[in-house]
Structures are given as structure tokens and as C-alpha cells.
A and B are shown apart, each in its own frame.
Chain A
Amino acid sequence: MLTEQEHEVLAQELERYPDRRAASIDCLVRLQESRGGWLSDETLADLAPVLDMSVHELDALATFYNRLNRRPVGRHLIRVCDSVSCWIMGSDAVCAVLRERLGIDLGCTTPDGRFTLLPTQCLGACERAPVLSIDDKQYTDLRADDLDAILADHD
């Protein structure tokens, strides 16, 4: 069931478009925010009648867009840029250190639910490569030595 607050948030999104379907991606993003960072079957079922869409249509969107998660994620989402400028500047090494420190592979979540580690496409900070983001805050000009301190900042 959608909460009253969620209803309000969805209403704001619907305002900006001439039809309901057009707001679907924004609505999925907002519900993902309010529901622990991912979209469950239940969330899709809650949203479908609001948009007059089927659950399957929403699933087609949720499985297409990179920023929509269909599986549970940790409290913090680490996205390591693996596009070409970051790759030249050493993103593989950054990624290797993160995997080793967290004890998980890309696409996985630490057993304590603290971090999910994902690769990401170019974050548009190529002059300060390599780059990663945690919960959309960017860390640039990364060196392997910096990573412990960055991780320690996130409970």
C-alpha cells in the first residue's frame, strides 16, 4: 500500500506531464528512494493502478534503466566508473581494492547490508579520473590509498 506521503510525492511527478504513463520513470525513481533503494514486486503492484499501467509494463522499465534496482541493495550504493577515461587512469585497480576490502564482487552487497558495489558508465568527471560515487556524492582523482578513508565515512 502506498503511504499518504508517497501519494503526495507521486502527485508532484504527475503534474509535469500531460499523461500518466509519462511520469512512470520518475515515479519509480521516487518510490525506490522511499523504499530502501530498490523496487520490489509489491512496489510495482502498488504503483501500477496509480499510472493505469500493468505491473509488467513497469517491470519492463525497471529492468531497462540503469538506476532502477529490482533487487535489494545495501545502505550505501558505490558506483565505480569503468568507462574509458577512468579505465586509462586506473579504475581497474580502484575496483580491485574495493572488491578486496568489501569481500564482494561487482553487483553484490556486503553481508552486513552496508554497501552494494556496482560498475557505472562515465560519470562526467573525466578530468578528475578515476571517479566513483557513493549515494551520488562523487569522489575524484582516486588513489587506492584513499579508499579506506572513503569507506570509513559511511556507516
Chain B
Amino acid sequence: MAETPLTDRIGPERKPPGLAEYRRAGGYKAVDKALRHLSPEDVRNQVTESNLRGRGGAGFPTGKKWSFVPQGDDAPTPKYLVVNADEMEPGTFKDRLLLEGDPHQMIEAVILSAYAIGASQAYIFLRGEYVTAARVLRQAIAEAKDAGLLGHRIRDTDFSLELHLHMSAGRYICGEETALLSALEGRRALPRTKPPYPQAAGLWGYPTVVNNVETLCNVPHIVAHGGDWFQSLSHTDDGGTKIYGVSGRVRKPGLWELPMGTTAREIIEEHAGGMRDGYRFRGLLPGGASTDFIVAEHLDLPLDFSGLSKAGSRLGTGTMIILDDHTCPVGMCLNMERFFAQESCGWCTPCRDGLPLVTATLAAIEAGRGRPEDLDLLEQHTRLLGMGNTFCAHAPGAMEPLQSALKHFRDDFEQHIREGRCPYR
């Protein structure tokens, strides 16, 4: 049986472990080990050697992200660690499992990561809708404070850390790390120009690291067992396990912690129970709405950060959305583009004006009023709103499902236009 360090203490009918239970299961041992025997640099090195990459969608190597934080006596202080728990990517529900199921794992991860980069202040930026996670986290933070795991001079060392919970008032763009910092400062969640990167000048201008929930939850296990062990959990070069998810018309939608690099075929057929009776697989979005569709011929590719580039897609959040043969691909794109248009922060013109135009064009095609030249217009926009032409990655992400749908499901678009109706209704 493969190891599942992130979800060992989480079960469907199980209450989240309190401090005592978490400790009995070996929890906070990594904190004791790091604070007593490892320097912050040792922890950073371990994370770098583990090949941990960001689980929030972009897949940036975590150790490398941390390496840009100024260190030494003349580094600006305070430094901040921010947990991106603003899980709003459509079809994504993995961080919720970790937050609700094992809050002390999250807190231990924060302590170790803050220690590694030298942060004295940490925020968990949590979706406003995640009220259960908020309740569970508040209780766990209070327990950790009472036990001297948070606060002044943790475990009688020189290391001090305050951990605060911020409930978001809700906007998808808050998941973009610089927009998230704007929101934490009490502003509209507008992305910021990079450089400077947050590691150099983040929250209130101080060095800041923003990491996703699942990414950080790996850190206690890396510190406890080492980078080599972490690498050995994976089928590929990207270290660790991954929490994969499936939603859509499969028999058993859900989440599973599996070796990084597991194939979509294994996840769908063995874990999600295959397609529901009467439904056929047509394609899937590997990791949320802002990833490119892959189709049947790609099902045996390893789902890791490099494997999907062969299929013109990317891992994203690793929670896949299945398109079945009773669901209209044009309607599905329309649903997602409408979401992206609504959630655009409005700061840059291509995104603010381009996404509504794309949405209106798709709506016309879906309603049977499409013209042949609309497909050229859509294709043109997948380039005009692509990376490099917009202020942040919001619109380029929005174009990923559309550009791949135009490629893989072109017949459906053409049929809508030719017949002047949606053939799925």
C-alpha cells in the first residue's frame, strides 16, 4: 500500500484530531526536531532537495520560491508567511479536505515553513465560504497557542511566530498571490506588478512567501523523513504524493492521495469507479477550470508537472473535471468563460473587455445564433488574451479550456453553427 502522509489522519466519519491525538500520531515531532537540531537553512535545503513543487496550480518549486527571501542580519523584518487557502478554482476541493480534516498538520506546516524563511508573522487566507474549516482552524490555533507551539519564544527557543486567520470576502482573483496580498492589506484584490516579487517586497512592503495549503502540508513530513523519502513517494521526478480529485459523471467522485505521476486512467477507473452507466468519457480538465482539456489518447500520461505538457495541458490543482458525452462542450466552455468574465478584477483592458466578448460569442453559438467566423474570433482571442498580453494569469488561464476545446471538440462547435441549435438539448 502506497504511503499517504497528508491524509493518514483524515477519514470520512472521523473528527479532526485535536492536539493530543495529533501528537500521539507523531505530530509536532518535526517542529521539535527542526527547532532543536536544524537551522532554518537546513530546513530550506531539505525542501529544495525534496523537489516539492507548488500544489496551487502553477507548480513552482517551493525551495526555489523560498530561496528568494532575503536572509541574514540585515534582511528587512518582519517577514511574513501567507497560506493561500482561498480555494476558488472551479472543480477544486482538495485543500478543504486538509483544512477540515487535519488542522494541526496545517499549523505544524506553518511553524516549520515560517522558521525556514525567518517569518515572525503568518496569515491563513481562507475562503469566506469555508466556515467549517474556519471553526476547526480557530480551535486548533488556540490549542497550539496554549501549548506554546505558537507565540513568543516557541519551545523556549529564540523563534517566535504569530498565526492569524483572515476570512476572505470572496473573489477568485484573490488566489493570485499578489492580489491576495492586496486583499490582506484591506484593498481591492488587484494583482501587482512583478518585480518586485513578494519574497522581496510583499505584505506592507516586507519579504513575504505565499504558498498553497497542500504544498505547505508536505513540509512537516519532509522535515521528519527527509527529501529522499519524499522523492520516493512519487512515480516521477516531482516529489511526493498528490491529492487528486474527480468530479463529473463518474460513479464515485472524490479525492485520493496517490503517488505523484499517477495516470488519469488509473484515477478514473480504479478510484472513481469509472463512468456512470449510460455515459461515455469525452475529455477532462486535469486541474480546475483554467487548464487545457485532455482527451482519451492522453489518459496514460503521468499526471505531474511535466507529463501533461505533451498533451498541451498542465496539472493545475490536480482535481479533474470530467466531460461526458451527454454534456455540451460549448456549454461547458460558456459556463467557465462566464465565470472568468465575472471574476476578472477589471484592472487591465484585455481581460476586462475580452472575457465578456468571448462569453457573448460562446452564448450566441450555444443559443444557435453563431456564425462561422465566430470560431476565428474565439481563436484570435485565445491568443490576444494569452500570456504576455494581460496584467496577470487570469485571462490566459481562462483561455486554456477554450483553446483546447476548439481543438478537441471542433466538430461540436461547427455543428452548433451549422444546425443553428445546441445538439445536446
Contact = CB atoms under 8 A, between A and B. Distances in A.
Interface stretch (B143-151, B247-255, B258-266): B247-255
A129 to B, nearest CB: 6
A34 interface: no
Nearest to A128: B253
A64 B188 contact: yes
B187 A21 contact: yes
A122 B197 CA distance: 29
A64 B171 contact: yes
Contacts of B331: 87
A127 B128 contact: no
Given A24-B186, A133-B129, A127 B167 contact: no
Interface in B383-409: none
A82 B171 CA distance: 15
A65 B254 CA distance: 30
A85 interface: yes
Given A21-B186, A127-B93, A85 B248 contact: yes
B257 to A, nearest CB: 14
B183 A25 contact: yes
A137 to B, nearest CB: 8
B286 interface: no
A112 to B, nearest CB: 26
A66 interface: yes
Interface in A5-29: 16-19, 21-26, 28-29
Interface string B74-105: 00000000000001111111011000000000
A32 to B, nearest CB: 9
Nearest to A141: B253
Chain A interface extent, by class: 35 or more
B247 A129 contact: yes
B248 A89 contact: yes
B91 A65 contact: no
Contacts of A123: 129
Contacts of B186: 17, 21-25, 51, 61
A89 B285 CA distance: 16
Nearest to A68: B169
A46 B187 CA distance: 19
B253 A126 contact: yes
Given A25-B183, A29-B128, A65 B332 contact: no
Contact of A121 (B88, B167, B323): B88
B147 to A, nearest CB: 20
A38 B274 CA distance: 45
For B93, B129, B322, which residue has the most chain A Cβ atoms within 10 angstroms?
B129
B55 interface: no
13 contacts: A26-B167, A29-B167, A66-B169, A85-B91, A85-B247, A88-B247, A120-B129, A124-B87, A124-B92, A124-B95, A124-B129, A126-B245, A127-B246
